Structure 1
Amino acid sequence: MPLLRLWYNSVPEVPTDPATNLNDSCGPEPRPDTRFVLTTTPTLGAEVVNADREHGDQVSARFEWADSSGTVLGSATSAPGWEGRHCTEIPEGLLADGQTYRWRVRAEDHYQEPETLEMLSDASDWTAWQEFTVDVTRPTLPVIASETYPQNATGGLVGTPGVFTFSPGESTDVASYRYRLVPGGSPYQQVTADTEGRASVALTPTSFLRNTLYVRAVDRAGNPGPERAYSFTPRRNPAPLVTSTVYPENAPGGGAGMPGEFTFSPNGAQDVVAYGYRLDSGETLQTPADTPTVTITPDTAGPHTLSVWSIDARGYLGWTRAYTFTVN
């Protein structure tokens, strides 16, 4: 009985999702956010479909890269395999910093000529040219400024928000900044720069000790620059004034068991809502700022110390006044 045998091969489809990766992994990530890449050996990749996979045929991807004028600089073919993502890495020494390049890819399948040992191949059309620019130059140190918290100086009241402005310095392609305020414990945060490479953030120091803001610029390709440390010291409210007629400061007065009034005043402190106070090592008490006079009755004769501090609207304590007096 006559037997009719047919062999056919499907031409591969044009690869999809062509993309430049930043390392040698053949996957969808990590990719640059822009067409600028921070390596001279990027990995080129694309998704390839094999319509004849049920016949056991394999497929590969042929990559071709060129300079900005279209002059081909090199090509490479991925290892034959199944459908999926195929990649190749541009070898070292072919690309230069600051230069723009283009690349494209096509799929090629591989099959055996029926009843022979000859291997044949069909190819898809090329993808459109993909363009990227190599940028391996790191940004320079950023410039940091703040009116509320000047560098290496005592600035605004602790707990007061301050605006910090970041400028690119000598760099011309800064896209964002990474920053962190210490102490504070927060992880690094990022802010996008404007078209001139500048950005501003509002930060609130929560410690009256020396604070340090760490900032580094990041360029359009994702290159991080060196880190600048910007130190400043928030101001703490001054110690309040304390007056008493019965128990004058640094002088004898009153007597054991005799009550005496003590009046507290801000002494230039801002946003005071209350005062905290403590006689010697006794209980810590508090009085509202609108009733700043308290009555204290010393139990024993001899020297005593009344510790007093202000509390502002944000809950921060001012410096402590040590008011000493002697009970007759």
Structure 2
Amino acid sequence: MSLGARPRAVLASLGALGLALAAAASPASAAGGTPTTPTQLFDGYRHCSTDADRPSYRWAGEGLVVEGMPDTTDTTGNSPVGVRYQTWPVNDPTRITTVTRDHATPGFEAPATLPGSALADGQTYAWQAQTVVGDAVSDWSAPCYVTIDNTRPANAPTITSPNYPPDVWNKGGEPVEFTLSAGGADDVEGFEFTWQQDLPVIGTSIGDYGVPQPVDPYSYTSYRKRADALGGSATLSLVPPSGSGPMTLWVRSLDRAYNTSAITRYSFLVSSAAPTVTPAVPKPEFGEPTGFTLRPDPELQAKSPIVSYSVQTLGGQNNRTFEVAAGADGTATVELVLDGVYGENLQVTSKSANGWVSSAAWWSSSYDTTPTVASDAYPENGSSGGVGVPGTFTFTPKVKDVESYTYTFNNGDPEVTVPADTDHTASVDWTPASDGWYDLTVYATTRSGIQLAPYDYFFTVN
């Protein structure tokens, strides 16, 4: 449930719960027991303040949702009760506005809305609640104090950074230091920020018995920070979401009612500082274990030691991402079996002790894993032989450990698999039943079960 202008949807759902329970019970006047003072008092789905010198601040442009939990001394029944709420300006206690909820369930929150027409922007109000059972009423609850704030901060925040100037290329490796200021708006309590353009929404979940579960929004330190004083500033130390390229931080101010200011953005550029990826041999073979050495960008290593690498494999039989610990000098080694039938790519980023993640280094290989096909009687791309003239076709691998070959003459014909000889080749005899153009498709399968790339061998029968 989001705060601000959206609480009515939650009120509707809670109201439906109370009405559904009430529909199955007798009228409020039939409730048993003595009414007790409501507990669990909330306004705007947040804890109310019972301190007159420290009122809460709430937006009430469409009214203010207030709620308490009514109850009675009857612990055996569940007959509905009523709840009465009244509010008044603290500077004029005679101007009382009363709102009544006629059907509520004992032991459940009973929300009601104080009308926005009775709540002036900038004015401080007291409100209280009592349980009603027929002609009997409980004592009033202790007053809650709330100041209505329907006005968003007048100015957008300002953003500065001492180590990443805006709109120029900066060398990365260190968290970005930001100072956020209220921009002259004296009611700013804190700031909301994100590397995405869509800023998060403050919300409150609803727990058992309809009780709101408010959480201090500034406890989400990845998105918000409280100012050092009302209308003051805050400092941030942030690691960008990617290691290089254009970066933008989006920021808006929050007042005590969580009204939001206009958004300010701070854009800067980070140059690439990727690690290097070096194979142990210049051209690794398909399916063979190969060692790789990962080395950090020297400037990143100097600013904060590299502690690990994230390695992602792409194009192989089982793409995966895994972490490799770095040594004291920032280097690491990893052994990989490259088994992409057309080739394989590695994407590697380094992570510094201060949390900085570098831009990605790419390393790639390409392989031709198709078999070689040869025939004296029916040469490739030639026209020869004839109907009833037999021919032999020999399959030879380009990679190691081939166990079998699968072939078909013309797409749609049944596939045939033949085992490879001890030298990993195979030969098949074939006699055409008709003349014309033929497409012999062949692929090999390795001992480990990898199906290699197919090869198309074209020829014409006279």
**TM-score category of the 2 structures, normalised to the smaller one:** 0.5 to 0.7
Q: Which residue of 1 aligns with 2:64?
A: 42
Give a deviation string over 1:241-283, Cα, whole Å, max 9, x none. xxxxxxxxxxxxxxxxxxxxxxxxxxxx84678xxxxxxxxxx
Q: Which residue of 2 aligns with 1:302?
A: none
Distance 1:68 1:233, change over 3 A: same
**1:93 alignment partner, SS class:** helix
Distance 1:138 1:315, change over 3 A: closer
Q: Is 1:194 matched with 2:209? A: no
Q: Is the 2:83–2:104 Cα contact (8 Å) retained in structure 1?
A: no
Q: Is the 2:130–2:137 Cα contact (8 Å) retained in structure 1?
A: yes
2:113 to 67, 78, 89: 89
Give a deviation string over 1:267-300, Cα, whole Å, max 9, x none. xx84678xxxxxxxxxxxxxxxx9xxxxxxxxxx
Q: Is the 1:270–1:312 Cα contact (8 Å) retained in structure 2?
A: no
TM-score (norm 1): 0.59
Distance 1:232 1:138, change over 3 A: same
Q: Which residue of 1 aligns with 2:36?
A: 13
* Letter of the 2:227 counterpart: A
Q: Is the 1:64–1:72 Cα contact (8 Å) retained in structure 2?
A: no
Q: Distance in 2 between matches of 1:272 and 1:77?
A: 67
**2:125 alignment partner, SS class:** strand
2:250 to 194, 210, 214: 214
* Letter of the 1:61 counterpart: V
Give a deviation string over 1:140-180, Cα, whole Å, max 9, x none. 2110001111222333x122222111000121122221212
* Letter of the 1:50 counterpart: T
Q: Which residue of 1 aligns with 2:101?
A: 78
Q: Distance in 2 between matches of 1:47 and 1:163?
A: 46
Q: Which residue of 2 aligns with 1:168?
A: 182
Q: Is the 1:57–1:109 Cα contact (8 Å) retained in structure 2?
A: no
Q: Is the 1:37–1:134 Cα contact (8 Å) retained in structure 2?
A: yes
- The number of equivalent residue pairs is 225
**1:104 alignment partner, SS class:** strand
- Identity among equivalent positions (%) equals 26
Q: Distance in 1 between matches of 2:239 and 2:148?
A: 39
Q: Is the 1:13–1:124 Cα contact (8 Å) retained in structure 2?
A: yes
Q: Is the 1:182–1:211 Cα contact (8 Å) retained in structure 2?
A: no
Distance 1:80 1:53, change over 3 A: farther
* Letter of the 2:233 counterpart: R
Give a deviation string over 1:200-232, Cα, whole Å, max 9, x none. 111234433221111111111111222111111
Distance 1:182 1:12, change over 3 A: closer
* Letter of the 2:248 counterpart: T
Q: Which residue of 1 aligns with 2:161?
A: 146
TM-score (norm 2): 0.43
Q: Is the 2:172–2:300 Cα contact (8 Å) retained in structure 1?
A: no
Q: Is 1:122 matched with 2:146? A: no
RMSD of aligned residue pairs (Cα, Å): 3.6
Following TM superposition, by how much is the alpha carbon of 1:31 offset from its aligned partner in structure 2, in angstroms? 5.7
Q: Which residue of 2 aligns with 1:108?
A: 132
Q: Which residue of 2 aligns with 1:294?
A: none
Q: Is 1:64 matched with 2:73? A: no
Q: Distance in 2 between matches of 1:315 and 1:169?
A: 32
Q: Which residue of 1 aligns with 2:239?
A: 204
Q: Is the 2:243–2:357 Cα contact (8 Å) retained in structure 1?
A: no
**1:49 alignment partner, SS class:** strand
Following TM superposition, by how much is the alpha carbon of 1:182 offset from its aligned partner in structure 2, in angstroms? 5.8
Q: Is 1:179 matched with 2:193? A: yes
Following TM superposition, by how much is the alpha carbon of 1:36 offset from its aligned partner in structure 2, in angstroms? 0.6
Give a deviation string over 1:114-133, Cα, whole Å, max 9, x none. xxxxxxx1111111111001
Q: Is the 1:14–1:127 Cα contact (8 Å) retained in structure 2?
A: yes
Q: Distance in 1 between matches of 2:271 and 2:48?
A: 43
Q: Which runs of 5+ in 1 are unaligned?
A: 1-7, 23-28, 111-120, 238-268, 274-289, 291-310, 319-328
* Letter of the 2:132 counterpart: E
Q: Distance in 1 between matches of 2:111 and 2:357?
A: 58
Q: Distance in 2 between matches of 1:312 and 1:127?
A: 56
Give a deviation string over 1:42-88, Cα, whole Å, max 9, x none. 11111111234757754211111000122333102111343132222
Distance 1:32 1:177, change over 3 A: farther
Q: Is the 2:178–2:236 Cα contact (8 Å) retained in structure 1?
A: yes
**1:39 alignment partner, SS class:** coil
**2:111 alignment partner, SS class:** strand
| Between structures 1 and 2, the one with greater helix share | 2
Q: Which runs of 5+ in 2 are unaligned?
A: 1-30, 50-54, 201-219, 274-297, 303-328, 330-349, 361-462
Following TM superposition, by how much is the alpha carbon of 1:32 offset from its aligned partner in structure 2, in angstroms? 7.8
